[in-house]
Amino acid sequence: MQDDDEVKSKGSGLSRRTFLKASGISLSVPLVMGYRVIKVSGAEVKVYGPGKVPLSLAINGKSYKAEVEPRVTLLEALRNELDITGAKRVCDRATCGACTMIVDGKPVYSCSVLAIDAQGKSITTVEGLMQGETLHPVQQAFIDNDAQQCGFCTPGFVVASKAFLDKNPNPTAEQIQKGLGGNLCRCGTYMGVRAAVAQAAQKGGRRNG
Amino acid sequence: MAEYKWPDADKRTHIGKRISRIDGPQKVSGRAKYSFDMNRPGMLFGKIVRSPYAHATVKKIDTSAAEAMPGVKAIHIMAEPGTPTAEVKWAGASILALAAVDEPTAEDAARAIKVEYEVMPHLVVDNDTKAGDQWTRVANENKQGDPDKGFSEAEVTVEGTYGVSIITHCCLEPHGSVMEWEDDKNVLAHLSTQAVSGSAAQIARPLEIAATNVRVKQDHIGGGFGSKFGPDEWDITAARLSKKAGGKPVKMFNERDAELMVAGARPSVYAKIKVGVKKDGTLTAWESQSWGSGGVGGGGAPPVPYIFAIPNQRKQHTNIINNIGSQRAWRAPNHPQACALTMPALEDAAAAIGMDPYDFFLKNIELAGQRAPIYTDELKIAADLIGWKNNWHPRGADKTAGPVKRGLGLSIHTWGGLGHPSDCDLTIQPDGSVELKMGTQDLGTGTRTALNIIVADTLGLPLNAVKITIGDSRYPASGGSGGSTTIGGISSSSRRAALDALDQVIAKAAPALDAKPEDLEAVGGSIRVKANPSKSLTWAQACSKLGATPLTVRGKNPGPGKLMDQGVGGAQMADVSVDIETGIVRINKIVAVQDCGLIIDLKTAESQVYGALIMGVCYALYEEKIMDPKTGRMLNPNMEFYKLAGIGDIGELVVHMMTGKGYDERGVIGLGEPPVVSPGAVISNAVANAIGVRVPTLPLTPDRVLAALEQKGGK
């Protein structure tokens, strides 16, 4: 994707850096917001950092605060700052799905989302799927069908399966294989995952929100 | 005195049933804490500066800029200029480690380190037998029988080239640890390891403290597959950084690229093979020249010909020493390679004499030795499950119109088993609660669950009446999890402990039931008179007779009674489709028939086999550590280009476990290794059957398939 700001500042004959220097100060807002707003070719753009900025995230229905550098990913913020460690860092490049979270209803690879960009959004992690001590039907189906061995990919798979079933409540076997193709397992639990997703669909994997 | 044996089939309440793993709820909810998940108070983040060169000497390291960064708390040089450690032998080798207050700071600091190298000549290819004396070692030459006579007796001699590329373990939880000094003498290690009990001494030695002062903890491990048997240099370094930082915990785990570059390679093997055969299928001779590499230590020594003891053999193997991250044990060391050389060579021999390989294998099955009858049974079951007789066609004879050709392949494999040394403490409290403690680890094979099943079954209790506590070096020592020795070891020691403990509970309860101890049994949560089951005490009532002090019994392996065995076989068959225009191979179905003695948990046992088949699809079709000869670096140290199979790539998998009479009496035998041996061979054979030509080297990527087809077309 092209950076609109980049294109326009180039077009103006200024480098991005000098352009920001020239125009960045006037609209600064206080640090509580965690960013400054500058005007770039008429549009307002948020500028964070480069140091730590305050971060506010809504995770599993609760509000969390931390201070992180703008380059910190959503995954790292949860794991390193908030001790929410169900999502795993494995490939760190949006390939394996072990870090899958649901953000505003959509499954995302949280290793490739900046924490600051997830502010103001509703984030669900694997820790948020249980209701009290009751497992979500997808979680129960993973246990029943032994869709896990070492379990390191399991939180990502469970969350991806939940998001998949939300969108495809009655999937065919082929849809399951395509829909969960974005998650990788090393121990080889795919047969269990296929059966688990099919079971959860029949039992209403969409329940519990 | 208890009789140390497994219960008869009609007495088993949990053993052999399909039981869900007991730590499943923790794993599906994200509550399972892996070493990688540990966030310790005041924890620092470790980072390693790595060599960009495959072979070099470190001349100078400038740490001044990093030292000046306020967030950097400790620096430790691992490749010290002017010392033997200064020579680095693969790209990704550790030069220096540092610890900082957070990950971004650690990354910035690592970038600020300046290292000067003197670059030296390297070799990273693994198949160059002409690279020169510096790089090659003839590992062994071996002759059996009279190979010249064997080939002269042959009516057909079949020659071919075969190979298996280097793969890496790619554990999803990378290698690493969180290390901390609790005081100036004691280290707490949250380590990702296949050997909880054995790692404490290995951490203590380089740190020059007593092993009793190191505590290793691990609740869960995110994959090991043979590559995590002890602490690595970076774990020791993390402890050194912690010490320099006043004891603060230091978290040090490989980034994904490092994990794939340095944390384990399965050695490659390539071979020119000649097989002598008579037209009736009788094998007369084998000759192989093989070579391969697994890094600076050379490669493995695959036992060829695999399983089939062909009477006359001449073999030579050469190790190539190259500059890649060193080999580590990989699930069934040497067997998948030996299998992927042998079974394709034999299948080619069958094709050359126009014989169905199923008939050919059965014709020669006596060469498999004492397990020949079991292989025969397993091959027959596998053939039924895949429809061999109906679906097999002679090599390349798929007459289906269009570019997609279908084929079948088969293979057999073996593994040892037995059980590692294992101690455990089983405690029964006067209130009837039961806990087993053991310094073992659950690799995802279901070790916790197996222990729970055995203790509950032995004591006549429901599963949830027993607490299983593992993963701490302060518990009784149990061996490392490798070579499929865990289930044999831990099932034997826990069974002995439970039988001994039950004896003692029964002895205390007998007077209250006015019976002799030998007339009592533990069934359904009670201790009862065998001849008069209505005469009973509940388990809790019986345990109350222990008095005020709990009873603790030590279970051991080895020990009395035959509870485990070694030597299993398995047969696999694959059905594949190959697009001869694109070279893409698709798995339609793989069938695995496997024996493993007495099965403790059928559900997790089947999962081991399914998992092995999937791992097999990975190394048969996708996985390969690709090295750049010029720069000496790995070209695909990431999960986008180091490819693993996804959920849609594995076709339909069918697992058939050999159980019941003839198998159960053998006792427990490990299952982690055997089923991962054959998939490369079965898939290769099925592809050859589909397209009419052997694709020599695994993985069978589209380029290799097309190259083989082109060569065939050119003949």
pLDDT tens for B10-58 read: 999 999 999 999 999 999 999 999 999 999 999 999 999 999 999 999 9
Whether B37 sits inside 8 A of A85 (CB atoms) is yes
Integer Cα distance of B579 and B668 in angstroms: 43
**How far apart (Å, rounded) are the C-alpha atoms in residues B490 and B196?**
14
* A13–chain B nearest CA distance, Å: 32
Are the beta carbons of B625 and B265 closer than 8 angstroms? yes
At A33 the pLDDT is: 53
Distance in angstroms (rounded) separating the CA atoms of residues B362 and B74: 64
Counting every residue written for chain B, the total comes to 715
**Contact status of A125 with chain B (Cβ, < 8 Å):** yes
| Most A-contacting residue of B449, B647, B652, B673 (CB-CB within 10 A), to test interface | B647
Q: What's the half-sphere exposure (Cβ side, CA atoms, 13 Å) at B192?
A: 31
**Could A154 and B614 be called an inter-chain contact, meaning their C-beta atoms sit closer than 8 Å?**
no
Between CA B559 and CA B563, with CA B560 as vertex, the angle to 5 degrees is 85
> Which of B222, B604, B650 has the CB atom closest to A150's CB atom?
B222
Token pair 């491990």: residue: B221
Chain B residues whose beta carbon lies within 8 Å of the beta carbon of residue A135:
25, 28-29
* Distance, CA of B201 to CA of A128 (rounded, Å): 40
Kindly indicate whether the domain formed by A137-202 is annotated with CATH number 1.10.15.40: no
Rg (CA), chain A: 20
Contacts of B17 in chain A (CB under 8 A): none
Q: Do B647 and A88 touch (CB under 8 A)?
A: no
Cβ within 8 Å, pair B28-A126: yes
Instruction: Give the closest of A148, A154, A190 to B647, CB-based.
Output: A190
Please, what sign has the CA dihedral across residues A20, A25, A29, A30? positive
pLDDT in tens, B291-321: 999 999 888 889 999 999 999 999 999 999 9
Mutation target to probe the A interface, by most A beta carbons within 10 A, among B18, B20, B27 is: B27
**Inter-chain touch A150–B604, beta carbons under 8 Å:** no
In this structure, which CATH number among 3.30.465.10, 3.10.20.30, 3.30.70.260, 2.40.10.220 belongs to the domain A53-128? 3.10.20.30
Cβ of A146 and B21 within 8 Å?
yes
Q: How far apart are CA B195 and CA B557, in angstroms?
A: 16
Which DSSP symbol is given to B300? -
Dist. CA B228–CA A74, nearest whole Å: 29
- Chain A residues in contact with B221 by the CB 8 A cut-off are 150
The reported pLDDT for the residue numbered A9 is 36
**What does the alpha-carbon distance between residue B406 and residue B588 come to, in Å, rounded to a whole number?**
9
What end-to-end distance do the CA atoms of chain A give, in Å? Answer: 33
pLDDT of B418 reads 94
Test B640 with A125 for CB contact under 8 angstroms: no
Answer whether B444 sits within 8 Å of A125, measured CB to CB: no
**Nearest chain B residue to A76, by CA:** B103
B610 contacts A191? CB cut-off 8 A: yes
pLDDT digits (tens, 9 = 90+) for B206-262: 999 999 999 999 999 999 999 999 999 999 999 999 999 999 999 999 999 999 999
**pLDDT digit string, tens, across residues B536-553:** 999 999 999 999 999 999
- Residue B188: other Cβ atoms inside 10 A: 19
Q: Does the N-terminal peptide bond of residue A169 adopt cis geometry, omega within 30 degrees of 0?
A: no
Please give the Cα distance from B491 to B453 (Å, whole number). 9
**Taking CB atoms and an 8 Å limit, are B223 and A186 in contact across chains?**
yes
The answer to whether the Cβ–Cβ distance between A135 and B29 falls below 8 Å is yes
pLDDT, greater one: B606 or A30 = B606
Q: Is A192 on the interface with B (CB under 8 A)?
A: yes
State residue A209's pLDDT score: 39
pLDDT mean over B580-598 = 98
Under a CB-based contact definition with an 8 Å cutoff, are residues A180 and A161 in contact?
yes
Backbone phi, then psi, for B181, in 5-degree steps? -90, 115
Pairwise CB contact (< 8 Å): A189 & B611 = yes
Tell me the per-residue pLDDT of B680-709, one tens digit each, with 9 for 90 and over. Answer: 999 999 999 999 999 999 999 999 999 999
Binding-face residues of A in 144-183 toward B, CB within 8 A: 144, 146, 148-155, 158, 176-178, 180-181, 183
How distant is the Cα of A57 from the closest Cα of chain B, in angstroms? 19
**DSSP run (H or E) holding B130:** none
CB contact under 8 A, B604 and A146: yes
Give every CB contact of residue B53 below 8 A, 6+ residues apart in sequence: B88, B91, B117, B119, B120, B122, B632
Domains by residue range for chain B, with CATH: 35-121+175-253 (3.90.1170.50), 330-417+565-714 (3.30.365.10), 420-557 (3.30.365.10)
Q: Does A95 touch chain B (CB under 8 A)?
A: yes
Distance CA B458, CA B15 (A): 9
**pLDDT on residue A15:** 46
**pLDDT under 70: residue ranges of chain A:** 1-34, 204-209
Shortest Cα–Cα distance, A104 to chain B (Å): 20
Contact A151 B647 (CB under 8 A): no
* Chain A: closest CA distance from residue B171 (Å): 7
- Would you state the structure tokens that stand for residue B349, as one six-digit string? 């021999």
CA A103 to chain B, closest CA, distance in angstroms equals: 17
Pairing mode of beta strands B72-77, B269-277: unpaired
| Amino acid identity at B443 | L
Which chain A residues contact residue B639 at CB under 8 A?
90-91, 93, 95-96, 184
| Euclidean distance between CA atoms B562 and A153, whole angstroms | 38
Residues of chain B contacting residue A189, judged by C-beta atoms under 8 Å apart: 607, 610-611, 614
Cβ–Cβ below 8 Å for B607 and A189: yes
Residue B5, pLDDT score: 97
Residues of chain B with pLDDT > 90: what percent? Answer: 96
Chain B residue closest in CA terms to A79? B37
Domain with CATH 1.10.150.120 in chain A: 137-202
Exposed e or buried b per residue across B563-600, where buried means at least 16 C-beta atoms within 10 angstroms of its C-beta: bbbbbbbbbbbbbbbbbbeebbbbbbbbbbbbbbbbbb
| Interchain pair B639, A148: CB under 8 A | no
pTM recorded for the entire structure? 0.95
Contact B173 A150 (CB under 8 A): yes
Q: Are B197 and B235 in contact (CB under 8 A)?
A: no
Instruction: Report chain B's mean pLDDT, rounded to a whole number.
Output: 97
Is B25 close to A135, i.e. CB distance below 8 A? yes
pLDDT number for residue B1: 63
The three-point CA angle A119-A122-A124 to 5° equals 120
CA B674, B675, B677, B682 dihedral sign is positive
ipTM score over 0.90, yes or no = yes
Inter-chain residue contact A158 with B28, CB threshold 8 Å: yes
Q: What is the pLDDT averaged over residues B54-78?
A: 98
At residue B712 the predicted structure's pLDDT band, cuts being 50, 70 and 90, is confident
Say whether pLDDT at B398 is over 80: yes
- Contact check, Cβ <8 Å, B610/A92: no
Question: 3-state class of B544 per DSSP?
Answer: helix
- B615 contacts on A by Cβ (under 8 Å): 186-188
In chain B, residues with a C-beta closer than 8 Å to the C-beta of A74 are: none
**Which residues of chain A does B33 touch, with a Cβ-Cβ cutoff of 8 Å?**
85
Q: Do B610 and A188 touch (CB under 8 A)?
A: yes
- Looking at chain A, the domain(s) classified CATH 3.10.20.30 span 53-128
Count Cβ atoms within 10 A of the Cβ of residue B71 and give its class: 0-12 exposed, 13-18 middle, 19 or more buried: middle
Across the A:B interface, residue pairs with CB atoms under 8 Å apart total 167
- What is the number of other CB atoms lying within 10 angstroms of the CB of residue B401? 5
Asked if A143 reaches chain B (Cβ–Cβ under 8 Å), the answer is: yes
Closest CA to B312 of B276, B270, B357: B276
pLDDT in tens, B491-549: 999 999 999 999 999 999 999 999 999 999 999 999 999 999 999 999 999 999 999 99
Q: Report d(CA B506, CA B532) in Å as an integer.
A: 16
H helix runs in B102-255, sequence order: 103-112, 147-153, 196-207, 233-244
Strand order through the sheet with B466-470: B466-470, B434-438, B422-428, B551-557
Q: Read off the tokens for B585.
A: 């191979």
